[in-house]
Structure formats: structure tokens, C-alpha cells
């Protein structure tokens, strides 16, 4: 299916008429925030998988808990992330 310039313009005009020009920036902002949250969660899951596959670090080399933040300066949606620890080695 090929969409040319006239079709795209028509779709944008219909979207603006349906949602209104005032709500579009808010919708784009919330979509961007959701994308950042999804990206940070996916990155955290990949790092969790990598840390479980690699040998455990000694206690002296462990890092401080990480905080996932949805957007720069947005402290309402940030939360600490607990990372797995290896308690078998003493």
C-alpha cells in the first residue's frame, strides 16, 4: 500500500479535527514518556540478563542501586531498582 503526500496530509487533517490541536502536544508528550519508560525497562531487563549470565562480582566491586527515571527531572515516576546479589560466596 503506497501512501502519497495527499493521503498523508488528509490523514493528518482528520487527526487534528478529531483530537483538536490543543490535545496533540499532550498526546505526543505522553507517547514520548511511555517510549522512554519502555526503553529504560528493556535496557534494565537486558542488563539483568547479562548480570545473571556473567560471574558474580565480589562485594567490594558491587555498585550502588540504580534508579530508573522516566524523564530527566521527573522524580514522581522514578523508582529504585533492586539488583540480584550473590549470597553463596562469603
Q: Is a pLDDT exceeding 90 seen at residue 62?
A: no
CB 69 within 8 A of CB 78: yes
Query: CA 88 to CA 90: how far, in whole Å?
Result: 7
Residue with cell 487534528: 16
Statement: the pTM of the whole predicted model exceeds 0.85:
no
Consecutive H or E run containing 59: none
CB 68 within 8 A of CB 41: yes
Q: What integer pLDDT is reported at residue 73 of this predicted model?
A: 59
Alpha helices (H) along 1-90: 5-19, 23-53
Average pLDDT, the chain: 75
- Per-range mean pLDDT, top range of 10-14, 32-36, 48-52, 75-79: 32-36
| Better pLDDT: 81 or 44 | 44
Q: Is a pLDDT exceeding 60 seen at residue 26?
A: yes
Residue with cell 517510549: 35
Query: CA 16 to CA 52: how far, in whole Å?
Result: 48
Confidence of residue 80 (pLDDT cuts 50, 70, 90): low
Q: What integer pLDDT is reported at residue 38 of this predicted model?
A: 94
Amino acid at each position: 500500500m503506497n501512501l502519497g503526500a495527499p493521503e498523508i496530509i488528509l490523514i493528518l487533517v482528520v487527526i487534528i479535527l478529531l483530537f483538536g490541536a490543543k490535545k496533540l502536544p499532550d498526546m505526543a508528550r505522553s507517547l514520548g514518556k511511555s517510549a522512554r519508560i519502555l526503553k529504560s525497562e528493556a535496557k534494565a531487563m537486558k542488563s539483568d540478563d547479562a548480570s545473571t549470565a556473567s560471574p558474580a562480582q565480589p562485594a567490594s566491586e558491587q555498585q550502588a542501586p540504580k534508579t530508573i527515571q522516566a524523564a530527566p527531572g521527573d522524580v514522581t515516576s522514578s523508582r529504585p531498582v533492586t539488583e540480584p546479589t550473590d549470597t553463596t560466596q562469603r
